[in-house]
Structure 1
Amino acid sequence: MPLDRFCGINKSYGININSSRDSKEKYQLIISKKHWRLKVSGFFLILSFVALAAALAHYLLMVPAPT
């Protein structure tokens, strides 16, 4: 069994960060892209919770109270 399957490593990158001279720069580029994507996805997650809260508040304010 290959080590990447055992460890759950995803080999979606076309480079081997351990083989070249500028591996540190390539690694930093990969990490910075992942960090940017994580920040964007976090923003959309928070935005979805705000939209859900607004929809819930609208629904609760529109439903008449039982008398």
Structure 2
Amino acid sequence: MSITSMILGSMEAVISIRVSSVMVGATRLTALARSVESMICNGDLRGGASVRVLISLQGRATIAELQAGYLRLRR
């Protein structure tokens, strides 16, 4: 896999996360995605990869929060 395809794939993934998190109001996840997007734009793929764990954790927290809100509305 070429570095160009790695950069493009990374950008596609992080933009998807950013847009989705904006749509559901997940501000912390949005901020993380913007940070990674900036890192990738500056050629820092390793820096972007280092935030991957934080994005995973925040993504799970966001899902739990959305599910809890949905369940409260259903009652």
TM-score bin (small chain): 0.3 to 0.5
Instruction: Specify which structure has the higher proportion of helix.
Output: 2
TM-score by length of 1: 0.47
If asked which structure has higher relative contact order (CA below 8 Å, sep 6+), I would say 2
TM-score by length of 2: 0.43
